[in-house]
Amino acid sequence: MFEITYLLFFLVASLLITVCLGGYMAKVFNYQPTLLTPIFEPIEKLSLYITGIQSTGSQHWKQYAFDFLLFNLVCGFVTFLILSFQHLLPLNPLHLAGMEPWQAFNTICSFVTNTNWQSYSGEVALSNFSQIAGITFMMIVGAVSGLAVCVGFLRGLTNRHSGNSGLGHFYQDFLKSLLYVFLPLLLVGSLFFISQGVPQTLQQQVSVTALEGAPQNIAFGPVASLLTIKQLGTNGGGFFNANSAHPFENPNPLTNFIEILMELAIPMGLVYMFGVWLKNRMQGWVIWGAMMAVFLSFLWMGNAFEQAGNPILSHLPSISVGIDQQSSSLQSGGNMEGKEVRFGVLPSMLFTVATTGTSTGAVNNMHDSLTPIGGLVPLADMMLNIIFGGVGVGLMGFLLYGIIAVFLTGLMVGRTPEIFGKKIEKPEIILASIAILLHPLLILVPTAIATMNDFGLSSLNNLGPHGLSEILYAYTSAAANNGSAFAGLNANTPWYNISLGIVILLGRYISIIALLAIAGSLLSKTKMEPGPGTLPTNTLLFGGVWLGVILIVGALTFVPVLVLGPLADQLAMLNGTLF
């Protein structure tokens, strides 16, 4: 009963957010006035003025991509300095030392790309100044850049600038994303979280004497402002090491529910906005429906296996009565290792599916401790990386698979393939192939290298097939710009800091550049009017085929490693084999 009510609330809330935020963004990025225009227009103009941007004319995709890259580079460099020299900067009451260079490299790669993989532990390694001017700042840059780029991409795909070969203006899109979309939600969201118990203070720690008399040092700081952008921007890098499992970062079931919705809000809205821009809302809903179908299937699968618990615990040899993992009115039951009591199983798994689908990477439970199939769910979710996906890049990835899907289906109805009225030819297929090749390359190859070397294996927290899953999860998370982890793996070693940093950078920028290039290339083609001979892409049938292509391309690539990792682990668990 709880399950049904909970999911019903979730679906209704998701639909509301999709329509409201999506409709709003469709207007904002189409330069139409909205309620907030009187407030933000002057700020936007002032910002352009003081940064010396004179013209906001539409840019060719190369210029757009260049501005995006250069800006990200500068931001990364500035943050690198902040992290490395935090001991010289203010708001460091605990006198924490500057970050080691390789860890700082890994951190900036991770945060500028909206990955937010953390090889450090927030409350141990970062001063409050680093948490706000370094981490919070980078989170905003990564997320807002992602949204801006996606807006540019969608403009190219939907011919927003008719008679113009441009995708829009990067800095203007960035400002619009930040001011009109992020800022209002950040302010409202942060205040809500503070009201629920999320700290927002410039203190870094408080010492108390616990009830039994032992001292307890409680770490906190400006958590709420970071938490909001972490969730809304699908960033995921926690203030605390335990991320959204930490009671200060996720105090109760309601904040948990809101955090989940915040992860999904912009990616969901973008799908709707795309439909509006295409003047084909049905197309938006077909994509939304396809994503939601996979989302719910993953959730169902993960929840079933987590709720079933760990069979080994039911037959511990030396224990007479056994451990009760059944769900009842007195406990949530299930596999509770690495989960919080206030969340239980389903809200934990909903968070897991949302955070890995959207490339957020925040966690409210420890994925490393999930049952093997329960852990396969977030892995698979990241391997696809398009179940709503990260802010901006998720929809882009979904449309990338769409290019492959229309290529095959177009052929099957006897037409040279087209997507949204644009012909798919060699350049698009080459670019799409690069983007599709990239994912397995970045995941499978470094995982293979790590599994055969001590520098890879010595970081493992778990042995046997679960160890393989730990390494696989790390590179999958990096390539998908997710940032969540099978956190048992000690990633703060030179090998992991460097290799993961590189995977993160390539995973982000190569695919974005390839997709922008596709948008640029499609933009220059004549749009064909749909006729009865055109294969409609806004149907249930095509949605199904689209999903089929995504699942088959994704599954075929990763099946062997998943068999040796999670599936072998599952078989071991059922047989009671320990490692």
Region 196-225 residues binding other proteins, contact defined as CB under 8 A: 196-203, 205-206, 208-212, 214, 216-220, 222, 224-225
Q: Measured between alpha carbons, how far is 266 from 282 in angstroms, rounded to an integer?
A: 19
Site for other proteins in 541-570 (CB under 8 A): 541-542, 545, 548, 552, 556-557, 559-561, 563-565, 567-569
281: contact with other proteins by CB under 8 A: no
- 156-183 burial: b if 16+ Cβ within 10 Å, else e: bbbbbeeeeebbbbbbbbbbbbbbbbbb
254: contact with other proteins by CB under 8 A: yes
Least distance to other proteins, CB of residue 558, Å: 8
Angstrom CA distances, 199 to 194, 225, 249, stand at 6, 9, 8
Question: In 112-226, which ranges are E strands?
Answer: 205-209, 215-219
Question: In 122-280, which ranges are E strands?
Answer: 205-209, 215-219
Out of 89, 293, 296, 313, the only residue in the binding site for other proteins (CB under 8 A) is 313
Indicate the length of the chain as a whole number. Answer: 579
Supply φ then ψ for residue 518, to 5 degrees.
-60, -45
Out of 240, 401, 495, 546, the only residue in the binding site for other proteins (CB under 8 A) is 240
39: contact with other proteins by CB under 8 A: no
241: contact with other proteins by CB under 8 A: yes
Residue 329 burial by CB count (10 A; 0-12/13-18/19+): exposed, middle or buried? Answer: exposed
Site for other proteins in 88-117 (CB under 8 A): none
Residue with Cβ nearer other proteins (26 or 345): 345
Tell how far CA 59 is from the center of its chain: 27
Q: Measured between alpha carbons, how far is 220 from 240 in angstroms, rounded to an integer?
A: 8
Give the per-residue SS3 of 338-403.
CCCCCCCCHHHHHHHHHHHHCCCCCCCCCHHHCCHHHHHHHHHHHHHCCCCCCCCHHHHHHHHHHH
Angstrom CA distances, 346 to 256, 264, 368, 387, 509, stand at 11, 17, 17, 18, 34
407: contact with other proteins by CB under 8 A: yes
137: contact with other proteins by CB under 8 A: yes
385: contact with other proteins by CB under 8 A: no
Out of 2, 31, 85, 455, the only residue in the binding site for other proteins (CB under 8 A) is 2
Out of 233, 357, 421, 507, the only residue in the binding site for other proteins (CB under 8 A) is 421
Query: 391 near 151, Cβ under 8 Å?
Result: no
Q: Measured between alpha carbons, how far is 439 from 433 in angstroms, rounded to an integer?
A: 10
Out of 67, 100, 173, 381, the only residue in the binding site for other proteins (CB under 8 A) is 67
Site for other proteins in 475-494 (CB under 8 A): 486-488
368: contact with other proteins by CB under 8 A: yes
Out of 100, 263, 340, 381, the only residue in the binding site for other proteins (CB under 8 A) is 340
411: contact with other proteins by CB under 8 A: yes
Q: Measured between alpha carbons, how far is 571 from 301 in angstroms, rounded to an integer?
A: 16
Site for other proteins in 500-519 (CB under 8 A): none
Size of the site for other proteins (CB under 8 A): 195
Q: Measured between alpha carbons, how far is 536 from 539 in angstroms, rounded to an integer?
A: 6
Out of 292, 346, 380, 474, the only residue in the binding site for other proteins (CB under 8 A) is 346
316: contact with other proteins by CB under 8 A: yes
Q: Binding segment for other proteins among 98-106, 193-201, 284-292, 501-509 (CB under 8 A)?
A: 193-201
Angstrom CA distances, 136 to 139, 183, 481, stand at 5, 13, 17
Q: Binding segment for other proteins among 102-110, 194-202, 265-273, 381-389 (CB under 8 A)?
A: 194-202
Least distance to other proteins, CB of residue 42, Å: 14
Least distance to other proteins, CB of residue 23, Å: 26
19: contact with other proteins by CB under 8 A: no
Least distance to other proteins, CB of residue 413, Å: 4
Residue with Cβ nearer other proteins (30 or 200): 200
Out of 78, 81, 96, 282, the only residue in the binding site for other proteins (CB under 8 A) is 78
Q: Measured between alpha carbons, how far is 273 from 121 in angstroms, rounded to an integer?
A: 37
